[in-house]
Structures are given as C-alpha cells and as structure tokens.
Structure 1
Amino acid sequence: MVSIHISIVEGNPHLRSLLAWHLQQAGYLVNQSATLQSARQTFLHRQPTLAIIDSDLPDGDGIELCRWLYQQKHSLILILSARNGEKDVVNGLKAGADDYLKKPFGMQEFMARVEVLTRRLGSRAAPLHLDYGQLKIDLAQRRVQFRGEYIELTPQEFSLLYVLAQAEGTPLSRADLLRRAWPEEIDNPRTIDTHVLSLRKKIETDPRQPNLIQTVRNVGYRFNLEMLAEINSALEANIIASTKGNHNGHSMSKIPAHNVSR
C-alpha cells in the first residue's frame, strides 16, 4: 500500500494544527512547517505527495516556494491564500499550483479538494530512495546505509524502518505499521514490538534508551527526525573542525623553527 504524505506549510499555528488533525483522521501521513525556510529544508530531503502551502508565510512568499517545488516535478501543490483576486489565482496556478483555495474556507471543501487532488496519483509508486543525511534507504536494492555503513536487516525490519522513516515523525499505531509494512500478512499487531526491539539493536547507540525509534504512549511508534538532524549537524561540525585543524597544522609546518619557538 502506498502512503500519501502531505506537508502543510502554514504560518497560522491554529489553522495548521486544525488542517493536520483532519488530514490525519482521514488516514494521511502529515508533517507541518511554519516557515518557508523550514519547509524548504524538509523538501530538500524528501518531497511530499501533496504540499499545502500558504501564500503569505512569515519569512517569505509562499508562491515562490510553490514555484521552486514545482520545478522539482514530484509533488502536487495546493495553495491556500487570502489573496482572492483573479490575478492572484492566475499567478498561483501559473507558479505550478494544481489547485488554489481562497481563505476563509470550510473543512468539508478543503478535504474534498485534497481528495480530488490525491485521486490523480493512481498507482504512483512509493519513493525509491529516502535520504536523511546519515540515514539512506534504497527501496529498489532494499539496502540501508547508516552513518556511512551498510547495516544488515531482515525483510521485516527493512519494511518497518522504511515505513517509519517515510512517515517523517508522524506517530503510527501498531496496526498502521503492520498494514503499511506487511499488507499481505495477517498477524498480531503486537509482533511489531518484537521487530522494533530487533531494529533498535542495530541502529540505536543504546537500545535500552532509544532516540531514533521512539515509543509514543497509547499510540505506537515514531521515527525521530529531530535526533537524526542533530546527528547530521554534529558530523558536519566535526568535519569542519577537522578541516580547520588540518589547515592550521599545515600552515604551522611552513613556519621556520626559530619563529615557532618565540
């Protein structure tokens, strides 16, 4: 089963949360961004099936984000806007939006437009590659690279990790994980716990205190992209520090010995 991933880019926190709640209730995987910059960083790692973008973001023009995302040619785009003139609608559609919804709007109309857009997907395949810096998942080859090394996973572990990572931080119930990871199998959702435990032993620094695959009480599990971002940032900082150290050492080696001693 192909998961439909929706990204909401909306500066109004109340509206953003309301849209996310309705979409999650309808079974979509949802992540949220409040600014143009944070959305763009997210899209650089993985582009959503459908991007819902407010035209007026706190740090920039949502239409420009729409234009940039359209050039990547992977996502459907729905613009939300208080700019209600005909020229505004035309500009949004020309920027690459598949639909343009004027504010204010009702939830029934919003959900109907989302449903119509997602119907266009047909049998669109799931992404063959997920790249989160230090974690790379190759669906075609069924290989996982973590911190520069390939790790050996069972078929069940691979499918479970792929579904968790694809959800990008959205908590998934055990039943959801079972349905998305192994749709052909009928099993007890509690068997997910066994596979999660095994997976944690292979990717967590301390499986007893997991940071990447988190337990969400009374829900299930989520993949912690925030922790993965910290790992990426720490590695980049180490590389920069190492480069500076090598550069300084190289420079010192060229200084005559009597100058160094002073």
Structure 2
Amino acid sequence: MTTAIVHVIEGNPQLRSLLRWHLSQLGLEVGLAAGLSEARQLLRSQCPSLIVLAIDLPDGSGLEYCRWLQAQDLAALILMISARSSEADVVAGLQAGADDYLKKPFGLQEFLARVQALLRRQRPQPLSRLEFGDLVVDLVQRRVEHHGRAIDLTPQEFSLLYVLVQAQGQPLSRSDLLQRAWPNAIDNPRTVDTHILSLRKKLEQNPQAPQLLQTVRNVGYRFTPEAMATRLAVS
C-alpha cells in the first residue's frame, strides 16, 4: 500500500518540526512549507492525501490558499489549524473548503486522531495515469513519457498539462488556465499561448496539426476527449 503524503503548512518552525516528527511516527511521508509560496512549490512535486494548513502565514492567508486548492480539484483533504477560535472563524474555515478545523493550542493526541480520521475517509483519488497511443502522462509522479522515453517538461508546462487533462475534454479559457495552472497572479493571457506552443513541440507528432492539445476558437484550449477515453484507473 502506498504511503500517505501529508503537507504541513505552518509558519512556526518549532510547531512545524514537531508535527512532522509525530506524523512520521505514524508512517506518513511529510512535506513541510513555511508559507504559501513554499506550499505551492511543494504541491508541484508531491500529490498529498492530506494538507495541514495554518490560517495565518507569513506571506498570506491560509483561507485564500484553501479556496485556491478547491479550484484545483485535488483529492487532498484539508485540516485547518488556527488560534482563531470563534464560531465565525471555524465557519469561515469550513466554508473556504477545509474538511476539519482544529483550534490552537491543541493536544498532539487529538491532532493525530483528527489526521487519522481524515485519512480514513479520504476522497476518491482522481485520475492518476493517462495513456494515449505511445504517450503516457503520470499525474502523480508528474512525469510524461513518449515511446518509453521521458519528455522533459518544466514544472509550469506540466501544471498546464495537468489542468487540461483534469478538465476531461472540456475547453478551458485562457483566464481559467491562468487561474488554475499558475501559482502566482498573471494577467497576460498570451503566457498560456506560449506554453501551449512549447507543449505541442514536445508532445505532438505534428505541432502544426495538433491532436492532443487543440485550440477551441473563441474559447481557449482543450485536451482531446479521445485521450481521456483511454485513461487508466488508479491502482
């Protein structure tokens, strides 16, 4: 059975290390982030089962990050931790997308019990592997192969491909792609066009007549439904 991955996003270095140690004792793989920027970088390299998310972070709000995570359509559950303890604060956290809310200070035994309870009811895993002819896209390992040869994609190129694949053939506008695939706010839609061209050069047999990454006039781009038809179930 695959080891569950937990991301701990907490600004306090002592608490961050303490939580990592105790989670590791449960046999969990733990990734750490001190703020939102590190959290988004970590998310590009690992697909977690659970995210432990503090509300107050050095570079932004955990509530906003939680809302952003919901837009990514991830399978990860979210345990929000915060010193904000009013009923309104708890409601705000749950409405932002958290699956559970734990008030600081908390006992470690209660924290671990909450983590284990969440992992037991983890959401169904999303598509993890897609095959289209000789093209294989591994969404968990963030790896692409063609004819058994690894294709070198930048983290941003893979994020863009990931979002398009997750849309399951539905066209997405440039604005949608900027919001979902880019970790930081960008207001230049042509950035999407540049990355699409780069992806086509690496993935398409004929980039001038693309089959996988199609342009939808007056809308944006889509990953073709024919590719989605051959998707494989999560093992």
Given that 1:70 and 1:97 are in contact with CA atoms closer than 8 Å, whether structure 2 keeps it comes out as: no
Counterpart for residue 11 of structure 1: 11
Query: CA 1:143–1:102 in structure 2 vs 1: closer, same or farther (change >3 Å)?
Result: farther
- Larger Rg belongs to: 1
How high is the TM-score relative to the length of structure 1?
A: 0.50
**What secondary structure, in the 3-state scheme, does the structure 2 residue paired with 1:11 have?**
coil
**What secondary structure, in the 3-state scheme, does the structure 2 residue paired with 1:78 have?**
strand
Query: CA 1:92–1:130 in structure 2 vs 1: closer, same or farther (change >3 Å)?
Result: same
Structure 2: gaps of 5 or more residues: 130-137, 154-197, 199-235
Query: CA 1:145–1:16 in structure 2 vs 1: closer, same or farther (change >3 Å)?
Result: same
Query: CA 1:27–1:85 in structure 2 vs 1: closer, same or farther (change >3 Å)?
Result: same
Given that 2:77 and 2:123 are in contact with CA atoms closer than 8 Å, whether structure 1 keeps it comes out as: no
Counterpart for residue 120 of structure 2: 119
Q: What percentage of residue pairs aligned between the two structures are identical?
A: 48
Structure 1: gaps of 5 or more residues: 149-238, 240-262
Query: CA 1:47–1:67 in structure 2 vs 1: closer, same or farther (change >3 Å)?
Result: farther
Counterpart for residue 107 of structure 2: 106
In 2, Cα distance between equivalents of 1:23 and 1:126? 26
Query: CA 1:12–1:142 in structure 2 vs 1: closer, same or farther (change >3 Å)?
Result: farther
Counterpart for residue 166 of structure 2: none
Q: Relative CO higher for 1 or 2, CA cutoff 8 Å, sep ≥ 6?
A: 2
Residues 22-171 of structure 1 mapped to structure 2, 5 A cutoff: 22-74=22-74, 75-121=76-122, 124=125, 127-128=128-129, 129-130=138-139, 136=143, 145=150, 147=152
User: Could you say which structure has the higher helix fraction?
Assistant: 1
Query: CA 1:144–1:26 in structure 2 vs 1: closer, same or farther (change >3 Å)?
Result: farther
In 2, Cα distance between equivalents of 1:12 and 1:30? 16
Q: CA shift at 1:3, angstroms?
A: 2.3
Task: Give 1:90's aligned amino acid.
Answer: V
Instruction: Name whichever of 35-44 and 121-130 sits farther off.
Output: 121-130
Counterpart for residue 2 of structure 2: 2
